[in-house]
Structure 1
Amino acid sequence: MTEPRAMGRAGRIIEYLEEIVIALLLGAMTLVTFVNVVLRYVFNESLLWGLEVTLILFAWLVLFGISYGFKKTAHLGVDALLNVVGAPLRRGLVLLSCLACLAYGGLMMKGAWDYWAPFAGYERTEGRWFPTGFDERTRDQAFYMTEQVPLFCCEEFLAERFNYGEAYDKLPRFIPYVILPVGVLLMLLRIIEASIGVLRGRRDSLIVSHEAEDDVAAVRVD
């Protein structure tokens, strides 16, 4: 499979930062779970917020990892049809799949914003499929908080900016939920980048080939 592209210095820095974020999320999940197990079985205590934080970190890891998977051509897919057609038709089918992914990513972007926006006190978009403006009737849900996760900093700023001066007792939900629009936006940008790579002949597909095990192993080594 053709390499996605030769990265410049800025590209390598961005990729390095992405890998650091993924490693930090995975490491934080492991650490919180380990500490909670030790506290429970050794000291008969527990972190009340441990499970909720682990779930939040897992959601961040998955949504952030989707875009990284498009970048590294690590997503699995069915390419049985592509392997039995000629090169011109194969390229056309791959470009068609790029358009389908772009349409899907656009719909997800609208849905992600519309879900997250009320929790941050912003307005949903109008329009069933394509955003045609902002819905002023959107109900402000910025007062919603997580169940157990404490708020460690910025209490006054968050209260004044998002909750009409009323202090939060726990971490407001719009903070962990922000990964939804951010993750989908990153995914959409990666799909656009991958589609341009296919159009310019720098990559063959959006998915790994049918030799999935070898390709996944190669991604791990990289």
Structure 2
Amino acid sequence: MGAYWFHIYLLIFIVILWALEKKFPKAMAHAEESLLVLVITSIMAVAFFQVVARYGFNTGWSGALEYNTTAFSWLIILGMGYGLRTSLHLGVDIVIKAVPSPVTKTLSLVGAACCLLYGLVLLDSSWVALFGVDTRGGAIDYWLKMYKIGIGSEELHYPGFVQDAFGIQSRIHRWLLLLILPLGLALMAFRSLQAFVDIATGHRKLLISGHEAEDMVEENKHILKD
């Protein structure tokens, strides 16, 4: 059981997230979007002030590059799950829209199942051994190694008051920066499962966004009548 403590925490995280989204759907959707906006805004702000500091005052923040690289990875990984939830991922739908509705539904279910499988394999591939495949690894395994080693980042440091209060090392722990890997992939797998259920129950037609222009016209057709 000790080897799977992080798996249990991830499961608890997903269950709590599911319960909160059931209770407060609009608030949770807004919180997810706000988090993405906050991340991308911080990337732009750091890049802007770094340019001003370097070319205007011949100085700068040594951790700017590492921060933006890390924040951009957070944006991508969080965006995977968000795109699945909102059907924002682009795709070629010429085939699934040309076939009968039952076939379209089947293909969409296969797509959602593939996304779920992909997320689970990246999260922890050790379960694939059940099918005779000798493999081990994944985001959880990698994160646990970083957690045990306890090494810090190259240029990012804890604020001085945090170091003094908790007596920790100067550099931010790498496992803290990499926490988005297991969390984001677990969220992606969860969103894929949600999409599969929604498609199977008829609450959703496609996994992807095929034609944004058509969707926008459909959403605003009452405005276009005038």
Aligned to 1:113: 140
- TM-score relative to the length of structure 1: 0.76
Please list every run of at least 4 consecutive aligned residues from structure 1 whose deviation after the TM superposition is greater than 6 angstroms. Answer: 156-159, 216-219
Q: Is the 8 A contact 1:63 1:179 kept in 2?
A: yes
Equivalences for 1:128-207 in 2 at 5 Å? 141-142=149-150, 144-152=151-159, 154-155=162-163, 167-207=168-208
Equivalences for 1:57-76 in 2 at 5 Å? 57-76=71-90
CA distance in 2, matches of 1:49, 1:217: 45
Change (3 A) 1:157 1:175: farther
Q: Is the 8 A contact 1:76 1:212 kept in 2?
A: no
CA distance in 2, matches of 1:61, 1:85: 35
- Of Structure 1 and Structure 2, the greater helix share is in 2
Q: Is the 8 A contact 1:32 1:50 kept in 2?
A: yes
CA distance in 1, matches of 2:28, 2:215: 22
Q: Is the 8 A contact 1:74 1:216 kept in 2?
A: no
Change (3 A) 1:101 1:216: farther
How many residues get paired? 185
Aligned to 2:108: 94
- TM-score relative to the length of structure 2: 0.75
Q: Is the 8 A contact 2:78 2:184 kept in 1?
A: yes
* Offset, 1:19: 1.1
| Unmatched segments (≥5 aa) in structure 2 | 1-20, 125-137, 220-226
Aligned to 1:124: none
